Structure formats: structure tokens, C-alpha cells
A and B are shown apart, each in its own frame.
Chain A
Amino acid sequence: MGFDIRLPIGMMFTVFGLLVTGYGAATRGDEMYEVHSLGININLYWGVIMIAFGAVMLLLARRGAAALRSAIVHSDDHDAAKQATGDRKAH
């Protein structure tokens, strides 16, 4: 019911990723990485991973929505809609 939860998850982690990656890029060589994260610019690396995770979630949400639309076009095929989105109130 409602909307696809993967949408907000994808959006949030993409925004997180962009923020943290940007910050990591701007603070390269900063003392805090030596002090805290063993000299690794963890912001940069983990930020990129979060962007990737967010993108995958957004992609899955989009594919879910597309599958749902095509299922509505072939409207007798409710089972496909259910399978595709796991949402029984989809139609």
C-alpha cells in the first residue's frame, strides 16, 4: 500500500552519499583522518558506496513501477502486478 519504500530509501542514501563524498573530497589530507579513521578518507569511500546503494534502490523502485504499469495495461494479469511490486492494492 502507499508508495514504494525503495524510493525514499534510494533518495535518502543518494543524498547522504553526495554530502559525505563531497565533504570527503573537500577535506582530503585533513588531520581528522589520521586521528580517527587510521589515515583512510572513509568519507570519500563510504560516500561513494552510499551513492551506489541509493542508485540501486532507485533503479529497483523504477523497475517496480514500470512492471506495475505494464501489468495495468494487461489488466487481467493482476498476478504479475503482485509479483512485480508485491503490492496487492496496486491496481
Chain B
Amino acid sequence: MRPHPHWIDYSVIAVYFSFVLGIGVVLKKYMKTSTDFFLSGRSIPAWITGLAFLSANLGAQEVIGMGASGAKYGIATSHFYWVGAIPAMVFVGLFMMPFYYGSRARSVPEYLKLRFDEKTRGLNAISFAVMTVFSSGVSMYAMGKLLQLLLGWNFNAAIIVSALVVLAYTFLGGLTSAIYNEVLQFFLIVIGFIPLVYLGLKDVGGWEGLKARIGNDAMVHSWKYLGSPSANPMGVEWFSMLMGLGFVLSFGYWCTDFLVVQRAMAADSMTSARRTPLIAAFPKMLFPFLVILPGMIAGVVSAATMSSDAHKIAPAKDGYAVVAQRGTGGADEISLEGGKGIIPAKVDENGRPMMKEGQIVLDYDLATPMMLVRYFPSGLLGLGLCALMASFMSGMAGNTTAFNSVWTYDIYQSYLNKGASDEHYLWMGRAATVFGLAVSVAAAYIARQFNNIMDVLQLVFAFVNAPLFATFLLGMFWKRATGNGAFCGLLSGTAAAAVHHGLTLPVGSTPGVKGGFLGTIVHRYPSEMAQNFWTAIFAWTTCFVVTIVISMMTKPRPEAELKGLVYSLTDRPEDHGLSWYQKPSVLAVVVLTVLLVLNWAFW
């Protein structure tokens, strides 16, 4: 199957790029103070911050990764939404936003400074800053690779162009520009993917037809087979699903990651800030249908064949077709030989399918992109490609804006240059944007050269992130928690994650980055996912316990200093003057009801 972009597709892409840049250019004149640049002057209405909250997270991991999981695990991938996101989004909106927004902290690390102390903030700010630029680099690398494969674009050009576009609009318009573009990208992804799901489902005969074609009951139920890890393709049981993903990982991400929380902090009022994640929860609940279904469909349909293309399929050599065959256009022919449905096999340098334990390794990350190529004729293909690029760029821009705030407020202003003028910090924010993106580009090239380094880094980030929610939970709801307790808790939680990972190994993996690097292997997990969930559970529990123990042994801060930072010392936010349907609590009940219905429907 060969991609077929046409002048019309390139025109659509050109229109998209000009709007993305145009927004940055027009917003430039509104960026007068550092508050405008980093916090959008706290003036954005809830529906916009809500969609941006969703869209900042809607990076490549989501559109490509969830399609890949859909192809691999089926509808149970929806747990990443219905278990792994929505409950945490409701919680952060109802219970945590009052502290983030109410304390007037300008970033999540700054909240830690106000609540605990300088060293806890420093630890969080520095690890977060490093993490964001590297994730942005990984995202860029993935995009460059994909555009190269799919459209035959030059890898270097794809990276440089995307980095420059993101740079231009975040440099000019700061957070507002990133948020506005995220909203634009949200609609683009929704409108770009609806026809894909429609055509795909129509082709396989609807949901019933898809079930029949998949022919594996465990892939079309989300809960039914979670009783034991061996019964479902994820290799996970319900407890680690609920505790590991649903509690530790999900709350750790949605409630403490500045990338998403920053969007809510830009809201125009406390009520808007609290409604931000709740508004985001509605589309988030429905996203599985947009991003998981294409992956599932990709595994069971056959390729589109143009009569004029037929002769281009190369003759088989040693039983396999030559995978990369230069077509007449810019892109290479992508062979589906050895693949499943329209998901191609992963290939080695010689263009041969890679094998593991006698089975061909499938390149699941190509499931969704191949669906675009399969079902979209020229015209809509341009729209689909825009949606794909939008997902990459919103992820990059989100990371960039989060990075420049944390760098400027929590590192530069706190440790390097206190008390400079506001203009200077605004200037620094812009400089950090350039610097952050430059490091991301470098990271993208490192990822290309040394794939393993990125795996190791992402592992380290996972260790750092796993315990975070315990710190925030205790900080916000237990006034006795102290700075020393929080700091020791975070460090020991990270250490616990590393030790657990080092002593366990998923079945079928060799010791190394997958675990077991401490020499002895105490336990073998049925899957990598199960191992990750349990690593998170161990890290969280360790941090929780250590924070409590050390806090009891150290002197608490006087209560007067903790007003507005801890639940028991903060006035409840009031929702007077709101219609009943605008109240955060009502929204939360509606969200949770729909959530139950969805889980029941796909049980």
C-alpha cells in the first residue's frame, strides 16, 4: 500500500500551517507582561481551557499509541481513559484545583514551595524541566520517522519545520497561543478522525461485524477477562489495573503534571479553573471511539489496491516480499507481507520482517497512520495528515510552554536571578522557548541514534513520577505533612520504583532496561504492563509511608502559614451565581454517571 498525497492534500496542509502561525502572529501584540505570556493573564474561559487541557495531553502517544494498543489489546485499551483518566480528572477539578488556583501559585512546583519547602520544589522543577524537553524530543522523533515513512519526506526537514512552527507560535503568543492552537487541534483531530471511524466501521459491518472479524472475545470486552492476567491480552489483572493505572499512575499524571494543570491555571476564575478538567472529561470519555477503534479495525481489514498499483508489488524473495520498494511518488511502497490486516511487520535494515519467538513482530504504531492511507482519498487525506501532525505539534507546544514557565519561575527566578524586572522574565520566557526546543531537537536526534538511551531516560522519568501523587495528596489533605517528609518521601519512592523494577522482569524479556538489572530476579510478571503498574504501586506506597513517618518526626509548619494550601485550613469554594448545570459538583456527577454507563456497555 502506497500513500498517495496530491496537490489538494498539500493545500489543506498549507492552510492549516498558515492558521497555526497566524494565531501566534495576531496574539503577539497582547503579550505585554510575563503573566500574559506564562499564564495568559488568567483570563481564558472554561470551555477553552477545558479543550486545551485535553488537547495538551493529546500528543502522539494518544493518537498513535492508543491506536496501537487498540490493535494489540482491543477495546480494553479504553481503561486508559475510563479508569486511567476520568476519575482523576474529576478529582483534580473538584478537590485539588482550589489549592492550585486559589494559592495563586504560578506553577505546580511553586505550589510545592508554598506548601512544603524550597528543596521539594527544586527537585520537582528540575526533574519536570528535563522531562518535558526530552518528551518533546521523543515526540519530534516519532513525527519525523512517521512522515518519512508515510510521505517520503526528509527526516531532517520534518523535524526542523515542525520545531520552527511550534517555536514561532509559542515564542510570539506564549501560553495563549499554545492554548488557542490546542483548541484548533482538538477540533481538527475530532473532525479528521470521525470520517475514518465511519468508513472503517462501515467496511467491517459496524461494531458487531468488527467483533465477528476479530473473533477473540477477550479483545472486545474491557472488564470480563480481567480476573486473571492469563485470560486477557494485556496480561494484567483487575487489582493492578485499578490501583496501578486507575489510582497511582492516573492521579499522578492528571493531578500533578504541570503540562495539564497549567491550562486550568490560565482560567478566568476559580469556578472556571475547577470546571476545566470536568469539561475536558466529556470529550475524553468519547475519545476511545475515535482513537482505539481505528487500531482495532486496522488489524482485520485488507489493503486498498489500485489496479495501477498491482504491478508494483515486488516478487517474493526467500518467502518475503521486498518490503521497501520505491514507488513513483516520493514515498516508498509499504509492504503488508507478513503483517496483520493493514498493520505492517517491523522490518530490519535489510527490509526483512523482524521475528521474536518464531512470530513476526508487528509495527503497531503504524496501525492508525495506515488507516488514514487506506480509507482516505486525496482531499480528506490532507485533513487526516493535518490531524496527525496537529497531535504531534500540540504535544510539543504543550511541553514547550510548561517548560518555559517552570524554567523561568521555578529555576531562573528562584535560584539564578531573583528580583529582576518583569520585562526581563518575559524575555527569559521567550529565550527558554528557543532553548527548550533546541534541546528537544537534539533529543530527537539522540533518540534516532541511540534508541536505548531514550528507553532508559523514560524509565528514569517513570521512577521520578510514580510517587508524586502521594506527596500532593498528603500535602493537600494532611496539614501535619512537612517539607522534610515530602522530600524524603519523593526520594525513597523513586528509589523503591527503581529497586522494584530492578528485581522483577516480565516473562519473555531479558534483563536490562525491561527490568532485572539488579542481578537477582525475585518475581516474573505476565506482561510489561503488569510490571509497570506494580512498580507504580510500590513507589506510591513507599512515598506515602515514608512521608508520614518523617513528618511525624519533624516539626510541622504553623497553621497560619498553610491557609489556602491545605484542605482543612481553606474555605470551601462557593458556586453562588451559577446555574445548577454550571456547578462543578453537578458536572462531576454527570461525568461519573456517563462513565459507569460506558464501562457497563463494553463490559
Task: Report A's interface with B, CB cutoff 8 A.
Answer: 1-3, 5, 8-9, 11-13, 15-16, 19-20, 23-24, 27, 30-33, 35-38, 40, 42-43, 46-47, 50, 53, 85-89
Contact = CB atoms under 8 A, between A and B. Distances in A.
A67 B197 CA distance: 38
Could you tell me the dominant secondary structure of chain B's interface residues?
helix
Given A1-B30, A11-B19, A27-B378, 5 more contacts: A23-B8, A23-B379, A36-B304, A38-B199, A86-B268
Contacts of B40: 1
Interface string B1-21: 000100010011001100100
Contacts of A1: 30, 36, 40-41, 43-44, 176
Contacts of B119: none
Given A19-B15, A31-B306, A35-B304, A8 B22 contact: yes
Interface string B186-200: 010001000100010
Interface of B: 4, 8, 11-12, 15-16, 19, 22-23, 26-27, 30, 36, 40-41, 43-48, 173, 176, 180, 183-184, 187, 191, 195, 199, 202-203, 268-269, 304-307, 374-380, 382-383
Contacts of B187: 9, 13, 53
A42 B43 CA distance: 40
B260 to A, nearest CB: 19
B504 to A, nearest CB: 46
B8 A19 contact: yes
Contacts of A9: 183-184, 187
B360 to A, nearest CB: 26
A32 B191 CA distance: 21
Contacts of A87: 43, 45, 268
Nearest to B23: A8
A13 to B, nearest CB: 7
Contacts of B36: 1
Could you tell me the dominant secondary structure of chain A's interface residues?
helix
Q: Which 6 A-B pairs have the closest CB atoms?
A: A86-B45, A43-B379, A32-B377, A1-B43, A36-B377, A12-B19
Contact of A42 (B19, B203, B377): B377
A46 B383 CA distance: 11
B43 A36 contact: no
A7 B184 CA distance: 11
Contacts of B48: 5, 86
A25 to B, nearest CB: 11
A38 B205 CA distance: 12
Contacts of A20: 8, 12, 379-380, 382-383
7 contacts: A1-B43, A5-B180, A11-B19, A12-B19, A31-B306, A31-B307, A42-B195
A35 B373 CA distance: 11
Contacts of A38: 199, 202-203
Contact of B26 (A2, A23, A43): A2
B6 to A, nearest CB: 9
Contacts of B383: 16, 20, 46
Contacts of A31: 306-307
Contacts of B376: 36-37, 42
A30 B377 CA distance: 10
A86 B26 CA distance: 19
Contacts of B191: 13, 50, 53
Contacts of A37: 199, 375-377, 380
A31 B377 CA distance: 10
Contacts of B199: 37-38, 40, 42
Contacts of A8: 19, 22-23, 180, 184
Contacts of B184: 5, 8-9, 12
B380 A43 contact: yes
Nearest to B173: A2
A13 B81 CA distance: 28
A81 to B, nearest CB: 12
Q: Which of B45, B184, B375, B383 has the most C-beta atoms of chain A within 10 angstroms of its own C-beta?
A: B383
Nearest to A85: B45
Given A9-B184, A35-B305, A37-B199, A2 B377 contact: no
A86 to B, nearest CB: 3
Contacts of A40: 199
A36 B374 CA distance: 6
A89 B43 contact: yes
Contacts of A46: 195, 380, 383
Given A1-B44, A2-B180, A42-B199, A12 B379 contact: no
Given A1-B176, A24-B379, A19 B11 contact: yes
B41 A32 contact: no
A12 B12 CA distance: 10
A50 B8 CA distance: 16
Contact of A88 (B12, B43, B173, B176): B43
B207 to A, nearest CB: 17
A36 to B, nearest CB: 5
A9 B183 CA distance: 8
A85 B180 CA distance: 15
B386 to A, nearest CB: 8
A8 B21 CA distance: 11
A64 B527 CA distance: 52
Q: Which of A2, A20, A30, A86 has the most C-beta atoms of chain B within 10 angstroms of its own C-beta?
A: A2
Contact of A3 (B26, B47, B183, B305): B26
B46 A33 contact: no
Contacts of A24: 379
Nearest to B374: A36
Nearest to B378: A32
A23 B378 contact: yes
A11 B20 CA distance: 12
Nearest to B183: A5
Contacts of B202: 38
Contacts of B374: 36
A33 B306 CA distance: 11
A47 B192 CA distance: 11
Nearest to A79: B577
A36 B43 CA distance: 45
